[in-house]
Structure formats: structure tokens, C-alpha cells
């Protein structure tokens, strides 16, 4: 029976009933979680502590468990450890809900077998994204296990079935066959007798293969391998071929050949390969959805400063495109090869909107002031670089992101985008290459956008005048390499400005 690959791969492993068990002694939290989940179509059940959860699991198994850590009677640590010690519960995804994202707590819950954690307070979107991803992956894994089980059943069925057997003389002439041989190859016994085994050969099997086969039979007394054989009606079939020498008084008097049709097994193997490819793709898609959700959350935070300062308008969109443009141009230069690649360009595009996130910590009377700031006010305004950098550092530490993530680059930009190439900037007075490259790129992009757009305290400058200021400050405010990149791409800068020229 042929295996329909499309039918196998079209089954949605995550479309079973979506049932979530909530384990929390706080009735308010339970109600909140139930409301969030039910709005998304989940079926929920709730218990007060770990002991009640284990009792519940005796009668019903959910698709996922949301569990608090601090509970009476039996806390989340004990419950998680107990569940993972029992085979019947080991595949249920567990997401621990923690009061704080402390690294030691996170390490402990994960070491005890939890699949994930989320710290309070949490965004419903992030919670739902994580739940959906874990349920989807669990379903896909279960579907794959089902397919592997089916494959094993097929294999055992063929292994224990009646095999096609033929007996030949030493020259390969058939002297006897069984009924299974007739069924497999189409030859009646009278037709097959005295015919040579060459009637089964196909062009797929090379002379070198047969030479190796007979060498093994001579040396070991047997051969076992896969070949393509030919039936009476010229149909090619894959088989497992086993040949054993028949001896009498130490002399070979003939051979017994046993063939097992593995057509279905081959089809199933192909189906498994295709399904694994589909599984990998779906897991990648779900992982990307989680990453996109995280990116959107961070970008949303970056726009907090924009919402408090309405003059910035399309500033974030222009800035991220200016930064990407400069990075792309620098990447073509020998000096920056090995430093700027596609990943770097993607990171600066994602992280650049975080540059002014620290402005959320600046009082409105200073941030929104239409007149020139006093020296004292300017000192307060300058704090936004450190406020923003510290905030991203805290987020980076809490999430445990790897070095080279867009949070790492966002931190560099937030701290250092007001540093100047000659060391006269703030907050640290860094000079030259001590300023991160990402921040040097941002410095030019930020100034260009600020000068060419209208603000409550000034009119917009034309491109020509802005260009002259940038050239004049090459080596002072700006990195000369970045100024040169800007000049080579200034036409594209003008296009970006026009494209994102939203009403200020």
C-alpha cells in the first residue's frame, strides 16, 4: 500500500483540544489567567497547589501546565520534580510563573524539568505566544512519534511474514521456489525452474555489486543487502536479499536466496524524511514567531519616548533606515570586512530605535521645552543616555541573551550615541574607535535627521546645509569613515527622508 506523503504532512499536530491546567494558590491570578486563555479559545482547569495538580493528572492530562512556584502544601519545585519522575507525565510542557526573573530561580526550575518560565508581571501577548509555541511543538513531536511507531509496526509485520524463497544450483539455475516467491515475482513454479537468477536482475545493480556479493558468500558463506529486482511483468521492486550457501560434506551444492519486499518501507522512509523536513520548518516558523513577538515588544518600548515627544514623528523609521544604509555601504570597504556582515546590518536596523529609550526618564518640562535648555536642564537631559543604556542592560541580564544580540547593540547605541569622535561628547567622553561602531553610525544618522526635520524650537534645514555641517565636523563629531560613507550614499538619504516624510 502506497503512503500518501501529502496526507501525512497535512495533519496538524497541534489542532487537538487545547487544554491548560493552571496551578496557583492565588485565586486572583487563576482568574486572570483563565480569562486570558479562554479569550483565545483554550479550555482551562485550575487547582490550588501541587498536590491537587498531581491528583488531577490521575484522571485527565492537559496539553500544558502553567504553575506558580510559591504555593502551600506542595510548591512548584516539588511538583515539577515529581511530575518529571513519572513517565506518564514527562512530555507535558510546564511553564513556571515566577515572581521575579532571578537567574538562580530560572536555572533551578529548568533543571527540574520545566520547559519554560515567565516572570510576573507579564504581557498577555508574550504568555500566549509561549503557550502556543510549546503546544505546537509538543503536538508535532507526538505526531512524529506516532509515525515512527507506525513504521516499526510495518517493519515487524514484514519481518514475520512469509518470505519469497528460491533454491539454486551452484551455477545460479533455479531448482525450487515457494508460494511467496510466486506471489512476489509472478512466476509459477514450472516457469521458474531451470531459469537462471539473472531473470531478476536490473540495470540498477552494477557488476561490481555482484562481484562484491559473491566474494562475501565465498568468504563468509552468506550475503545480506538491498537490491532492486525485476518481476515477471518487468516491474522493479526494492528487496532485502539474503543468500546463504547450502553445503553437503563441506562442499557448496547450491544456494538459498530469501527476498523481502521493502517497497512500503522505502515509501515510509521517504515519508518520514519529508515529515521531518516539514517538522523542522514548522518549528523554525514557531521559533521565529516568538522572536518576532519579542522584537515587537522591544520596539514598542522604544516608541515610549516617541509618544512622549510628538515632534519626533517618523524619526524612528528614518533613523533605522539611515543606520542600515551606512552599515551596508561600510560593509563594501576592506576596512570593515569581518566586522560588518548581514547579521550586523540586521542587528543595527533592529536595535537603532532603542537609542533614545532613556528619554522616558526625563521630566516633561525639560523634554518638551520649546526654548533652549539652561545648562542645568541640559545636564539632566544628558542623563537619558545612561538611563537608556542601564535599562537595556537590565533587560539583557534578565533575559540572559547571548553576546551579539540586538539588545547588546542597542545598549551600545543608547550609552554612546552622543559621544563625539574627538572625545568631547557625553556621557563618558569616549574617543575614536573606543566608541562602538554602532554608536558612531547612529551619531551621524541622528544628527542628520534632527537637522533636516522641523522641531518646535527650530525650522528644518535643507540637505545641502546639513551636508556642510557634517563635512565640517568630520574627525570632530563624526568618524571620517562614516562621513565618507554618508557622502557616497547621500542620494539614498534624501530618498529615505522623502519616503518617511510623515506630517510632523
pLDDT of 202 reads 86
Within a domain: 303: no
Residues 359 and 219 in one domain: no
The Cα 272–Cα 40 span in angstroms is 32
pLDDT of 155 reads 47
**Least confident among 86-95, 170-179, 258-267, 369-378:** 258-267
Residues 47 and 140 in one domain: yes
Helix (H/G/I), strand (E/B), else coil: 262? coil
Residue 157 has pLDDT above 80, yes or no: no
**H-helix or E-strand spanning residue 143:** helix 124-159
pLDDT of 297 reads 61
pLDDT of 308 reads 56
Q: Counting beta carbons within 10 angstroms of the beta carbon of residue 37, is it exposed (0 to 12), middle (13 to 18) or buried (19 or more)? A: buried
Q: Give CA angle at 427 (390, 404), nearest 5°.
A: 45
Residues 144 and 79 in one domain: yes
- Give the tens place of pLDDT for each residue, 159-206: 444 688 888 898 889 988 888 888 889 999 898 888 898 888 888 778
Residues 319 and 340 in one domain: yes
Mean pLDDT across the stretch 98-115?
Answer: 83
Number of domains present in the structure of the chain: 3
What distance, in Å, lies between the first and last C-alpha atoms of the chain? 68
Please choose, from the candidates 400, 381, 304, the residue with its C-alpha nearest in 3D space to the C-alpha of residue 110: 400
CATH number at residue 368: 1.10.3210.10
Q: Which of 261, 283, 318 is the last residue of a domain?
A: 261
The Cα 439–Cα 130 span in angstroms is 33
pLDDT of 5 reads 30
Residue 295 has pLDDT above 70, yes or no: no
Residues 352 and 393 in one domain: yes
CATH number at residue 132: 3.40.50.2300
Check residues 490 and 250 and name the one with the higher pLDDT: 490
Helix (H/G/I), strand (E/B), else coil: 422? coil
Within a domain: 286: no
Within a domain: 211: yes
pLDDT of 10 reads 42
Q: Which of 113, 141, 159 is the last residue of a domain?
A: 159
How far is CA 145 from its chain centroid? Answer: 21
Rounded (to 5) percent helix, strand, coil in the chain: 55, 15, 30
Domain that holds residue 202: 164-261
Residues 215 and 313 in one domain: no
Mean pLDDT of the chain: 85
Check residues 297 and 236 and name the one with the higher pLDDT: 236
CATH number at residue 224: 3.30.450.20
Q: Rank 73-82, 220-229, 249-258, 312-321 by mean pLDDT and report only the highest.
A: 73-82
Residue 77 has pLDDT above 90, yes or no: yes
Mean pLDDT across the stretch 112-118?
Answer: 89
Put residue 194 in one of left, alpha, beta given phi > 0 → left and psi -120 to 50 → alpha: left
Task: Tell me 120's DSSP state.
Answer: S
pLDDT of 100 reads 67
Residues 381 and 475 in one domain: yes
pLDDT of 501 reads 77
Residues 110 and 226 in one domain: no
Within a domain: 313: yes
* Model confidence pTM above 0.85: no
Residues 31 and 170 in one domain: no
- Give the tens place of pLDDT for each residue, 360-418: 888 988 888 888 899 999 999 999 999 999 988 888 887 776 666 778 999 999 999 99
Check residues 275 and 255 and name the one with the higher pLDDT: 255
Residues 70 and 93 in one domain: yes
Q: Which of 119, 142, 159 is the last residue of a domain?
A: 159
Mean pLDDT across the stretch 265-271?
Answer: 78
Within a domain: 290: no
Within a domain: 395: yes
- Give the tens place of pLDDT for each residue, 461-477: 999 999 999 999 999 99
Residues 195 and 211 in one domain: yes
Mean pLDDT across the stretch 5-18?
Answer: 45
Residues 23 and 50 in one domain: yes
pLDDT of 4 reads 34
Q: Rank 39-43, 94-98, 352-356, 417-421 by mean pLDDT and report only the highest.
A: 417-421
Amino acid at each position: 500500500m502506497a503512503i500518501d506523503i501529502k496526507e501525512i504532512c497535512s495533519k496538524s499536530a497541534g489542532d487537538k483540544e487545547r487544554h491548560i491546567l493552571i496551578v496557583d494558590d492565588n485565586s486572583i491570578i487563576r482568574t486572570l489567567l483563565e480569562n486570558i486563555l479562554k479569550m483565545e479559545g483554550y479550555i482551562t482547569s485550575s487547582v490550588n497547589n501541587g498536590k491537587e495538580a498531581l491528583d488531577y493528572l490521575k484522571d485527565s492530562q492537559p496539553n500544558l501546565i502553567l504553575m506558580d512556584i510559591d504555593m502551600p502544601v506542595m510548591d512548584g519545585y516539588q511538583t515539577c520534580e515529581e511530575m518529571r519522575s513519572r513517565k506518564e507525565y514527562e512530555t507535558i510542557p510546564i511553564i513556571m510563573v515566577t515572581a521575579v526573573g532571578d537567574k538562580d530561580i530560572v536555572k533551578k526550575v529548568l533543571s527540574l524539568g520545566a520547559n519554560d518560565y515567565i516572570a510576573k508581571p507579564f504581557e498577555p501577548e508574550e504568555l500566549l505566544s509561549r503557550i502556543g509555541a510549546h503546544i505546537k511543538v509538543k503536538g508535532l513531536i507526538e505526531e512524529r512519534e506516532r509515525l515512527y511507531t507506525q513504521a516499526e509496526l510495518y517493519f515487524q509485520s514484514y519481518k514475520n511474514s512469509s518470505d519469497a524463497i528460491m533454491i539454486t544450483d551452484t551455477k545460479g539455475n533455479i531448482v525450487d521456489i515457494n508460494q511467496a516467491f510466486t506471489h512476489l515475482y509472478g512466476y509459477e513454479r514450472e516457469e521458474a525452474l531451470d531459469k537462471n537468477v539473472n531473470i531478476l536482475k536490473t540495470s540498477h545493480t552494477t557488476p561490481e555489486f555482484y562481484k562484491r556479493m559473491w566474494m562475501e558468500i565465498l568468504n563468509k558463506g552468506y550475503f545480506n543487502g538491498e537490491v532492486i529486482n525485476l518481476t515477471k511483468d518487468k516491474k522493479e521492486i526494492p528487496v532485502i536479499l539474503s543468500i546463504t550457501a547450502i553445503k553437503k560434506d563441506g562442499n557448496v551444492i547450491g544456494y538459498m536466496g530469501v527476498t523481502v519486499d521493502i517497497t512500503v518501507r522505502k515509501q515510509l522512509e521517504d515519508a518520514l524524511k519529508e515529515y521531518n523536513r516539514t517538522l523542522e520548518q514548522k518549528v523554525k516558523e514557531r521559533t521565529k514567531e516568538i522572536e518576532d513577538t519579542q522584537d515587537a515588544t522591544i520596539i514598542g518600548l522604544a516608541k515610549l519616548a516617541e509618544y512622549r515627544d510628538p515632534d519626533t514623528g517618523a524619526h524612528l523609521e528614518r533613523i533605522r533606515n539611515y543606520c542600515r544604509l551606512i552599515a551596508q555601504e561600510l560593509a563594501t570597504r576592506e576596512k570593515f570586512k569581518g566586522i560588518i556582515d548581514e547579521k550586523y546590518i540586521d542587528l543595527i536596523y533592529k536595535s537603532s530605535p532603542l537609542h533614545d529609550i532613556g528619554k522616558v526618564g526625563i521630566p516633561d518640562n525639560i523634554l518638551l521645552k520649546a526654548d533652549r535648555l539652561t545648562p542645568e536642564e541640559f545636564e539632566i537631559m544628558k542623563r537619558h543616555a545612561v538611563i537608556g543604556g542601564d535599562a537595556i542592560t537590565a533587560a539583557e541580564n534578565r533575559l540572559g541573551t547571548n553576546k551579539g544580540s540586538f539588545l547588546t547593540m542597542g545598549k551600545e547605541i543608547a550609552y554612546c550615541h552622543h559621544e563625539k569622535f574627538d572625545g568631547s561628547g557625553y556621557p563618558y567622553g569616549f574617543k575614536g574607535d573606543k566608541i562602538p561602531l554602532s554608536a558612531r553610525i547612529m551619531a551621524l544618522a541622528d544628527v542628520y535627521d534632527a537637522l533636516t526635520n522641523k522641531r518646535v524650537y527650530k525650522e528644518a534645514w535643507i540637505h545641502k546645509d546639513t551636508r556642510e555641517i557634517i563635512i565640517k565636523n568630520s574627525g570632530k563629531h563624526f568618524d571620517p569613515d562614516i562621513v565618507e560613507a554618508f557622502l557616497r550614499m547621500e542620494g539614498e538619504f534624501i530618498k529615505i527622508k522623502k519616503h518617511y516624510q510623515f506630517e510632523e
